[in-house]
């Protein structure tokens, strides 16, 4: 999903707060007011509307004792949401850990890794496979507390102006793909161009980009990718279940009474489920519209490109393991968990879905 890092300055974050006329965090008469900075426009289905609903749920469940105001990236410009939190311009942020690899490269794992975990598997790793403790270890030095707060599900590989007939067609192409997936493509011969969301479609239109990914049919349709590229590729091996996160100023979170801490945690858990369900409901109709109304050509990635991406992923993840001890533990934990759950995923869900595709009720 990225959408590269939505980077902006703390000055811009503070200006956004002032422009909206939002109060500084206030505590009084049993009421606390916080600000949530999100990397998305608040009307962007799934990621943006999910952040708004998350803030509303915290406010409602707390009876207004913890009122959360949302500051959105309404024009799609780059916004460093974590800088907003650590710089005191907001108490919470909603985005994806993929955006913050400049702080520590292992942040990317908590958004998902190429050929890694599906949405359900990622939640399982966090809740039952040791992921949450590792996330705490990674975020605590930044005075942050992290919560899963959404998942886009498996994404599309992306949009290309011309057809990919084999691995050789990727050589030298300029592609917008962030994070670990982008590193994999670089190993496969692509050239990367980092752009925020609002600049991707114009760059495809004027030829600065040959290909790009965003999220999936729901948001890609709304962004207008079909107007500038007609080849739409699957599978999105680079982001098989892209997780979203709520990051909270740890000091302020720990200063909340236990019931408000629990409300923040449970509202994030609800957002994790709600956003994933929203994409499950909307991607099918959006994909039908792209194909039937806009003439988009669906393609499966060439077999040699997919095969090469596996070896490239191994190399990229080995580089990440070598960063430091915590990175090694995080990567090893993800793939140990994947090994544990794959036998059931393969014989249960995968076989059912393959069989379901053969029949129509």
155-189 pLDDT tens trace: 999 999 999 999 999 999 999 999 999 999 999 99
Walking along the chain (361 residues) 10 residues at a time, the average pLDDT comes out as 35 40 52 95 96 98 97 81 93 95 95 97 97 97 97 97 97 96 97 93 98 97 98 97 97 97 98 98 98 98 98 98 97 97 95 91 79
- Domains in the chain, please, with CATH? 10-154+240-281 (3.40.190.170)
Radius of gyration of the chain measured on its C-alpha atoms: 20
pLDDT of residue 360: 80
Q: Are 78 and 6 in contact, with CB atoms under 8 Å apart?
A: yes
Residue 258's alpha-carbon distances to 61, 62, 90, 156, in angstroms, are: 14, 12, 21, 40
**Dihedral of CA 101/141/240/56: which sign?**
negative
pLDDT of residue 30: 79
Residue 63's alpha-carbon distances to 259, 268, 313, 350, in angstroms, are: 12, 17, 47, 43
Total-model pTM: 0.90
3-state secondary structure of 150: strand
Instruction: Name which of 110, 142, 119, 120 is nearest 251 in CA terms.
Output: 142
Residue 286: Cβ within 10 Å count = 18
pLDDT of residue 57: 98
Q: Which two tokens stand for residue 270?
A: 């609800």
E strands, the chain, in order: 27-28, 31-38, 66-71, 92-95, 144-151, 158-160, 174-176, 191-192, 211-212, 231-234, 243-249, 297-300
Matching residue, tokens 């050239």 = 191
Q: Are 58 and 287 in contact, with CB atoms under 8 Å apart?
A: no
pLDDT of residue 361: 79
């Amino acid at each position: 999903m990225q959408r590269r890092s939505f980077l902006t300055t703390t000055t811009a974050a503070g200006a956004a707060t002032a422009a909206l006329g939002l109060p500084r965090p206030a505590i009084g008469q049993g009421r606390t007011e916080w600000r949530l900075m999100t990397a998305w426009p608040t009307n962007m289905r799934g990621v943006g509307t999910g952040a708004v609903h998350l803030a509303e749920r915290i406010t409602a469940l707390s009876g207004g004792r913890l009122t959360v105001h949302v500051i959105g990236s309404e024009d799609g410009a780059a916004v460093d949401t974590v800088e907003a939190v650590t710089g005191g311009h907001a108490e919470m942020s909603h985005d994806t850990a993929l955006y913050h690899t400049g702080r520590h490269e292992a942040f990317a794992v908590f958004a998902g890794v190429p050929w890694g975990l599906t949405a359900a598997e990622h939640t399982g790793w966090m809740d039952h496979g040791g992921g949450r403790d590792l996330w705490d270890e990674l975020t605590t030095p930044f005075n942050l507390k992290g919560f899963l707060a959404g998942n886009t599900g498996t994404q599309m590989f992306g949009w290309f102006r011309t057809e990919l007939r084999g691995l050789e067609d990727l050589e030298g192409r300029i592609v917008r793909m962030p994070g670990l997936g982008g590193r994999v493509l670089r190993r496969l011969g692509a050239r990367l161009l980092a752009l925020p969301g609002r600049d991707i479609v114009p760059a495809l239109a004027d030829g600065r980009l040959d290909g790009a990914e965003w999220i999936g049919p729901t948001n890609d349709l709304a962004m207008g990718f079909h107007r500038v590229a007609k080849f739409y590729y699957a599978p999105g091996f680079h982001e098989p279940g892209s997780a979203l996160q709520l990051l909270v100023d740890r000091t302020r979170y720990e200063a909340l009474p236990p019931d408000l801490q629990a409300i923040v945690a449970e509202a994030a858990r609800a957002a994790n489920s709600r956003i994933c369900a929203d994409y499950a409901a909307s991607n099918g109709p959006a994909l039908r519209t792209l194909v039937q109304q806009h003439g988009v050509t669906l393609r499966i990635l060439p077999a040699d490109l997919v095969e090469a991406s596996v070896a490239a992923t191994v190399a990229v993840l080995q580089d990440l393991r070598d960063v430091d001890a915590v990175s090694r533990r995080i990567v090893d934990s993800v793939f140990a968990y994947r090994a544990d759950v794959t036998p059931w995923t393969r014989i249960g869900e995968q076989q059912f879905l393959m069989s379901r595709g053969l029949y129509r009720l």
